[in-house]
Amino acid sequence: MSSPSDDLRLAEMEPEQEYVAMLYGRLDDLREQTSKRLAQSLRQTGGTHQMRSERDTSVAMYTDQLAQYSAVENGLAFGRLDFHNGDRFYIGRIGLFDEDKEYEPLLMDWRAPAARPFYLATAASPDGVRRRRHLRTRSRKVIGLDDEVLDINSVEPSRNEGLTGEATLLAALNESRTGQMSDIVATIQAEQDIIIRSELNGVVVVQGGPGTGKTAVALHRAAYLLYTHRRQLAKRGVLVVGPNTTFLRYISQVLPSLGETGVLLSTVGELYPGLTATGRESAEVAAVKGRIQMADVIAAAVRDRQEAPAFVDIRFDNDVLRLDRRAISDARGRARRTRRPHNEARRTFAREIVSTLAGMVASRLGGHLLDKADMDDIRRELRESDEVQAAISSLWPVLTPFSLLSELYANPKRRNRAMSKFTREERDLLQRTTDDWTPADVPLLDEAAELLGEDDTEAKARAERQRRQAIEYAQGVLDILDLEDDADPEILMATDLMDAYRLAERHGVDRYETAAERAAADRTWTFGHIIVDEAQELSAMAWRTLMRRCPSKSMTVVGDIAQTGDIGGATSWDTVLSPYVQNRWRLTELTVNYRTPAEIMEVASDVLASVDASLVPPTSVRETGVPPWVARVPSFESEVPGLISAEVEAVGDGKIAVIVPAALVQPVGSAIVSAVPGSSMGNDLEEAQVVVLGVTDAKGLEFDSVVVVDPVGILEESPRGASDLYVALTRATQRLGVVHTGTLPDVLSRLKDVS
Ligand SMILES: Nc1ncnc2c1ncn2[C@@H]1O[C@H](COP(=O)(O)OP(=O)(O)OP(=O)(O)O)[C@@H](O)[C@H]1O
């Protein structure tokens, strides 16, 4: 591929600047038009419920549009395709059209089918493209351009054969990190594009080593799917699941920068509306809670609360009624046979118990003397008796997912009964008496919520009372109107009033909500598509929860089996997915590492081989010429701060992560924070220049420089220690340092050569 000389390039920049300025002019026009429409909609007040609802929809639509126009401001246009037939397209973040020329395209949305050659055309297979141009812009100014002439005869041999827009790509990869992930829309590579645009249906697994762009691909796929299947997906929404909130914050700007705001980003621990599960527990406890057998445990725990003791005595009308085990078991059997969730089946249980007790009362009173009305009275009195209610509640209590789990965790006897297939040690691991809910509790709470259902008897009765009141009120108003002979029947109908009342009552507040907002508040919401990032970390119970949220099984699953750190995490995609979709999932692979330079990958590859000799590391797309460094120190607390200060000098304004075993976050972190300005133990990646993190919190992130402290500690702190060390080493985009005491572990022996 050839590139024009610098002079020629400068001459080419002027017309490009003019065109880009014209595009921004068009964007400004659209902004102005939309602002006016929004203002107009906001001025509309009153009207019927339907008019207000239409107004809210317009307000939401114009607000979204304005947000989209602001979001695409940076790098609005980034490419141009020149075809052999003379056609020329500009490619950008959104589509822009010329209203005066029959909506001729001025800028093609990168997701449109016609933009595809920008990512896929090669010299060998040019697809009619003569030249591909990458435009680099800053604040509406064109600051550079890179051309590729797709002519098989003019291709120069390149180390990185097969890269699209190599110069622009390498420039992007060498930029300092900001603590926020950027989009890659201008430089998506062919192997990534194929995954991004693969069809909506079914489960696509994207397996790839560190830095191969899995997260980037997943997010661009979300944007692509929303563009291509807008009608289908806007209604049910798209969910992106990430491993922790630091990671979600790190990726949170990517979709807005692609003009998409309606996607729900969540960890599994945040999927239970109203609960913030921030409790901490050991990896072993989380692993037990994540096992698929816990679904049976929850079911058994629910059954265990449907009790049938030898007898229950109930005082009623100066008498004692005895319910024996047989009567209780019969009622329980009937209730269970309804196959309804526990709290709903309770109605059947209560009815059966009341009916049995009514039979006893009747026979004591002399049943033959009683007619149907007498029996109804007896049943009503029994139902209203506090003693009877208390007995029913003790035998079949109303349960919430929280009360069920709290009792299971706190009560060893209940655990013994529900966890018969678990060892004593495993049962004991779940012992807990506080309500400090953890992320691993969330799939269990979700499972419990499914099995318990809601007892909506009260809610239904309340709704019915309200409906009757509304009808009476509406009828009253109509009667008054009827008195006026010339009242226009069109003005007000009783049903209008009733509808308005009920709708206002049901919705509380009239407000337009996006699918993502509604989904976040509704545990039973099902999504049109789910994207799971760092999917290897999910437990079997977490998968069960997610699968329930996506009955269509339209999913993108992104991860790297070699990076699995969680004990309950995945060791094969088939094991994870086949229980839900059998063999109907497609494996795609990414093979090029865009993040980690070759010098660092050499070191990391030895660690990967120790995880599993058959795993192949991804190939680095670039070298930096900077070998990783290693330092042996007498004590971490005293020496690491000095080494980090030197690293700060080396990276300029770049970001540094100090990755340590969990036990060292506090001591080493404090030492660094007090000695190195701009450092933090927290997760404020944007603010701090240096962050001190455990490996779990570093998952999915990247930094200009990474200093791994105490590799032996990382290897030893978990059964998946080698995977953790591999993750830690591969977070760097430029520089790597390793600090140790004692001897360097064998898997890092390559570092000895550079020390
Ligand atoms: N086509 C591309 N153009 C520019 N940058 C890219 C491209 N693909 C990936 N990158 C960059 O490479 C880095 C790694 O990408 P990403 O975080 O998506 O990788 P990953 O496979 O999820 O990594 P890991 O499994 O280690 O978390 C990011 O900075 C991303 O922006």
Question: Among 510-519, 569-578, 681-690, which is the least confidently predicted range?
Answer: 510-519
Higher pLDDT, 579 or 566: 579
Whether ligand 1 lies within 6 angstroms of the CB of 188 is answered as yes
CB atoms within 10 A of CB 331: 25
How far does residue 213's CA lie from ligand 1's centre (Å)? 3
Residue 203 banded pLDDT, cuts 50, 70, 90: very high
User: 344 C-alpha to center of ligand 1: Å?
Assistant: 49
**What percent of the chain is predicted at pLDDT more than 70?**
89
344: pLDDT strictly greater than 70: yes
Question: Residue for token digits 């705001």?
Answer: 261
What pLDDT is recorded for position 498? 39
Is residue 78 lining ligand 1, measured as CB closer than 6 Å? no
Tell me: pLDDT of 567 over 80. no
Considering the domain architecture, whether residues 109 and 55 belong to the same structural domain is answered as: yes
Q: Is the pLDDT of residue 192 over 50?
A: yes
In a domain, 189, yes or no: no
Using the predicted structure, report yes or no on whether residue 505 has a pLDDT greater than 50: no
Provide the pLDDT confidence category of residue 751 given band limits of 50, 70 and 90: confident
423 shares its domain with 517: no
pLDDT in the model for residue 475: 55
Q: Helix, strand, coil proportions of the chain in percent (round to 5)?
A: 50, 15, 35
Mean of per-residue pLDDT scores for the chain: 87
Same domain, 407 and 488: no
Asked, for residue 656, whether it belongs to a domain, the answer is: yes
Q: Which of 162-176, 345-359, 446-460 has the lowest mean pLDDT?
A: 446-460
Q: Which residue's CA is the closest to the ligand 1 atom numbered 15?
A: 213
For position 111, what pLDDT does the model report?
Answer: 96
Whether residues 146 and 275 fall in one domain:
no
- What is the DSSP-derived secondary structure letter of residue 282? -
Residue nearest to atom 14 of ligand 1 (CA): 211
pLDDT band at 512 (very low <50, low <70, confident <90, very high): low
In a domain, 193, yes or no: no
**Identity (one letter) of the amino acid at 170?**
L
Query: Ligand 1 in contact with 730 (CB < 6 A)?
Result: yes
Q: What is the pLDDT of residue 494?
A: 39
Would you say residue 185 lies in a domain?
Answer: no
Q: What tokens were used for 186?
A: 């201008």
Any domain includes 196? no
**CB of 211 closer than 6 angstroms to any ligand 1 atom:** yes
Q: Is the CB of 243 under 6 A from ligand 1?
A: no
107 CB near ligand 1 (under 6 Å):
no
Pairing of strands 129-138, 141-149: antiparallel
Q: Which of 54-68, 142-156, 390-404, 686-700 has the lowest mean pLDDT?
A: 142-156
Q: Whose CA is closest to atom 1 on ligand 1?
A: 188
State the distance from the centre of ligand 1 to the C-alpha of 189, rounded, in angstroms: 11
Strand (E) or helix (H) holding 220: helix 214-228
> Quick check: 486 pLDDT over 50?
no
As a whole number, mean pLDDT of residues 402-414 equals 97
Q: Are 118 and 110 in contact (CB under 8 A)?
A: yes
Angle formed by the axes of helices 441-452 and 342-365, nearest 10°: 40
Which phi and psi angles does 322 have, rounded to 5°? Answer: -105, 120
What span, in angstroms and rounded, lies between the C-alpha atoms of 117 and 622?
A: 24
Q: Which two tokens stand for residue 292?
A: 């698929």
Asked whether residue 59 falls in the same domain as residue 155, the answer is yes
Query: What residue numbers does the annotated binding site for ATP cover?
Result: 208-215
For 87-117, what is each residue's pLDDT tens digit? 999 999 999 999 888 888 999 999 999 999 9
pLDDT score, position 615: 86
Looking at the structure of the chain, the number of domains it has is 4
Name the residue with the closest Cα to ligand 1, atom 29. 595
Q: For residue 488, is pLDDT > 50?
A: no
Is 701 within 8 Å of 672 (Cβ atoms)?
A: no
Q: Is 594 in the pocket of ligand 1 (CB under 6 A)?
A: yes
Report how far ligand 1's centroid is from the alpha carbon of 463 (Å): 52
Separation of CA 220 and ligand 1 centre (Å) = 12
Measured from the CA of 590, which atom of ligand 1 is nearest? 21
Provide the total of helices (H) and of strands (E) in the chain, helices listed first: 30, 22
On whether the CB atoms of residues 108 and 89 are closer than 8 A, the answer is yes
Amino acid code (one letter) for 461:
A
Same domain, 89 and 222: no
Residue in 173, 185, 220 to alter for ligand 1 test, most ligand atoms within 8 A of Cβ: 173
Of the candidates 262, 296, 200, the one whose C-alpha atom is nearest the C-alpha of residue 61 is: 262
Residue 186 lies in a domain: no
d(CA 736, CA 740): 13
Tokens of 674: 């007090």
Shortest-distance atom of ligand 1 to CA 559: 25
Mean pLDDT in residue range 553-568? 85
Cα-flanking dihedrals φ and ψ of residue 453, to 5°?
60, -175
> Which residue's CA is the closest to the ligand 1 atom numbered 9?
213
- The per-residue pLDDT for 685 is 82
435 and 462 both lie in a single domain: no
At residue 390, does pLDDT exceed 50? yes
Q: Is 179 in the pocket of ligand 1 (CB under 6 A)?
A: no
- Residue 502 — very low, low, confident or very high, per pLDDT cuts 50/70/90? very low
Contact 1, 149 (CB under 8 A): yes
Q: Which amino acid appears at position 716 of this protein?
A: E
Same domain, 318 and 378: yes
Nearest 5°: phi and psi at 118? Answer: -60, -30
Kindly state if the Cβ of 133 falls inside 6 Å of ligand 1.
no
Asked if residue 296 is part of any domain, the answer here is yes
| Residue 325, both tokens | 């085990």
Query: What is the model's pLDDT at position 500?
Result: 42
* pLDDT > 90: percent of the chain: 64
Give the model's pLDDT for residue 518.
79
Express each pLDDT in 1-23 by its tens digit.
Answer: 445 566 667 788 899 999 999 99
Higher-pLDDT residue of 201 and 161 is: 201
Asked, for residue 538, whether it belongs to a domain, the answer is yes
The answer to whether the CB of 173 is under 6 A from ligand 1 is yes
Nearest to 545 by CA among 290, 300, 288: 290
Distance from Cα 694 to the centre of ligand 1, integer Å: 21
Residue 627, exposed/middle/buried by CB under 10 A (0-12, 13-18, 19+)?
middle
Asked if residue 270 has its Cβ within 6 Å of ligand 1, the reply is no
The model scores a pTM over 0.90 = no
- What does the pLDDT look like over 419-448, one tens digit per residue? 999 999 999 999 999 989 999 999 999 999
- Between the CA of 215 and the centroid of ligand 1 the distance, in Å, is 7
β-strand partners of 736: 706
Q: Which of 418, 452, 486 corresponds to the end of one domain?
A: 452
The b-or-e profile of 706-728 (16+ CB within 10 A means b, else e) is bbbbbbbbbbebbebbbbbbbbb
Residue 508 clears pLDDT 60, i.e. is over it: no
Predicted pLDDT at 343: 96
Question: Which residue has better confidence, 145 or 754?
Answer: 145
CB atoms within 10 A of CB 90: 23
CA of 702 to the centre of ligand 1 (A): 9
Q: Give distance in angstroms: CA of 184 to centre of ligand 1.
A: 8
401 Cβ inside 6 Å of ligand 1: no
pLDDT band at 497 (very low <50, low <70, confident <90, very high): very low
Q: Do both 33 and 172 map to the same domain?
A: yes
Contact between residue 206 and residue 588 where contact means Cβ atoms under 8 Å apart: yes
pLDDT digits (tens, 9 = 90+) for 698-725: 989 999 999 999 999 999 998 889 999 9
Domain co-membership, 733 together with 615 = yes
pLDDT digits over 596-613, tens only? 999 999 999 999 999 888
The two structure tokens encoding residue 547: 């699968």
Which one of 418, 436, 452 terminates a domain? 452
CB within 8 A of 428, min separation 6: which ones? 412
- Helices assigned H by DSSP within 396-532: 401-410, 412-418, 424-429, 441-452, 457-483, 494-507, 515-520
ipTM, two decimals, is 0.99
Of the three residues 589, 615, 645, the one that is the final residue of a domain is: 589
Residue 165, pLDDT score = 84
Ligand 1 center to residue 181 CA distance, Å?
Answer: 9
Secondary structure element (H or E) that encloses residue 68, with its range: helix 49-71
pLDDT at 569: 75
Using the predicted structure, report yes or no on whether residue 493 has a pLDDT greater than 50.
no
For residues 30 and 139, membership in a common domain is answered with yes
Test site for ligand 1: of 164, 169, 212, most ligand atoms within 8 A of the Cβ: 212
Atom of ligand 1 nearest to the CA of 208: 21
Report d(CA 321, CA 453) in Å as an integer. 31
Fill in the amino acid letter for 366: G
Q: Is the pLDDT of residue 490 over 60?
A: no
Centre of ligand 1 from the C-alpha of residue 601, in Å? 15
Q: What is the pLDDT of residue 35?
A: 93
Least confident range from 197-206, 497-506, 577-586: namely 497-506
- Ligand 1 centroid, distance to 182 Cα (angstroms): 9
d(CA 148, CA 158): 13
Mean pLDDT value across residues 259-282: 89
Segment 234-244 shows an average pLDDT of: 90
Of 56 and 478, more confident: 56
Is residue 187 within 6 Å of ligand 1 at its C-beta?
yes
Are 441 and 496 in a shared domain? Answer: no
Query: Which pLDDT does position 292 carry in this prediction?
Result: 96
**Which residue spans within 38-180 are E strands per DSSP?**
77-83, 88-92, 96-98, 104-109, 129-138, 141-149
pLDDT in tens, 131-159: 999 999 999 999 999 999 887 665 555 54
Range of 654's domain?
598-748
CATH at residue 509:
3.40.50.300
Tokens of residue 717, six digits: 């702190």
